Amino acid sequence: MDSQVIYDALRSKIIHLELAPESVLNLSELAEEFGVSRTPIKEVLLTLQAEEWIVRQGSHFMVTPLSLERIREITEIRMVLEVQANLWATQRISQEERDALLALKQETLDFTGLHDNRAIVDLDSKIHRLVFTAAHNSQLTTVLERILNHYLRFWLAAPRRIEPRTFFAESLELIDAIATRDEDVVRECTVRHIRNSVAEIMGTR
């Protein structure tokens, strides 16, 4: 099996909490699960460690714990980079990307309370990724996607059910502002969205 397939599968399990924070990863069990030797598994785990999805404790690998200090540090970085990315997206977005963004807007409007938290968070992630791509800076997109994925773990770890209408309110505002190239609203909306997101995760909103 290709190492990229193993990497994608393990990262997805970590993001979606199928591998719980602080759970120990057993090389032999993973090798058996994916039908490969321990060597490619260890290579993938080293990559995941470099991206801070897992940490090493002695001879063992463990899924990175969730902590308020971690979300605070991620938020500081996000507040700088995502604002700039969204402004660049406003300036550089193509007509095809704008149409795709408006299609995602309609998809959010069609969401109901019947959707679980994972479906809601995954759709929000699609919106962010499209905006990041529309900034047309691949290096920035890569960094922000990683930051966003770390955020998803915190959202999915929250015990309460996400209310779609409230959750998507600022995303819908952002889509409209980008579509109309209103940079002032894009900047203000992005900052507010990030602050409200971390407040929701920390239970202070």
Judge whether 194 and 79 are in contact, CB under 8 Å. yes
Query: Do 101 and 147 share a domain, yes or no?
Result: yes
Give 203's pLDDT tier (boundaries 50, 70, 90). low
Query: Alpha-carbon distance 174 to 179, whole Å?
Result: 8
Domain that holds residue 19: 3-63
156 conformational bin, left if phi > 0, alpha if psi -120 to 50, beta if neither: alpha
Query: Do 77 and 173 share a domain, yes or no?
Result: yes
Query: Do 187 and 146 share a domain, yes or no?
Result: yes
Q: What is the mean pLDDT of the segment spanning 53-80? A: 90
The residues, ordered by sequence, that sit 6+ positions from 44 with a Cβ below 8 Å of its Cβ are: 3, 6, 7, 10
What is the structure's pLDDT at 23? 95
Query: Do 58 and 73 share a domain, yes or no?
Result: no
State the total domains in the chain: 2
Query: Do 53 and 111 share a domain, yes or no?
Result: no
Give the CATH number, domain containing residue 19. Answer: 1.10.10.10
What is the structure's pLDDT at 171? 93
Query: Do 126 and 191 share a domain, yes or no?
Result: yes
Quickly list DSSP for 5-54.
HHHHHHHHHHHTTSS-TTPEEPHHHHHHHHTS-HHHHHHHHHHHHHTTSE
Query: Do 24 and 85 share a domain, yes or no?
Result: no
Give the CATH number, domain containing residue 137. Answer: 1.20.120.530
Q: What is the mean pLDDT of the segment spanning 87-104? A: 97
What is the structure's pLDDT at 127? 96
pLDDT in tens, 27-57: 999 999 999 999 999 999 999 999 999 999 8
pLDDT in tens, 116-167: 888 988 999 999 999 999 999 999 999 999 999 988 898 888 777 888 888 8
Q: Which of 63, 79, 97 is the last residue of a domain?
A: 63
What is the structure's pLDDT at 24? 94
Query: Alpha-carbon distance 92 to 95, whole Å?
Result: 10
Query: Do 102 and 41 share a domain, yes or no?
Result: no
What is the structure's pLDDT at 140? 96
Q: Given a cut of 70, is residue 12 above it in pLDDT?
A: yes
CA distances from 114 to 146, 161, 163 (A): 28, 11, 10
Q: Helix axis angle, 164-179 relative to 68-92, nearest 10°? A: 30
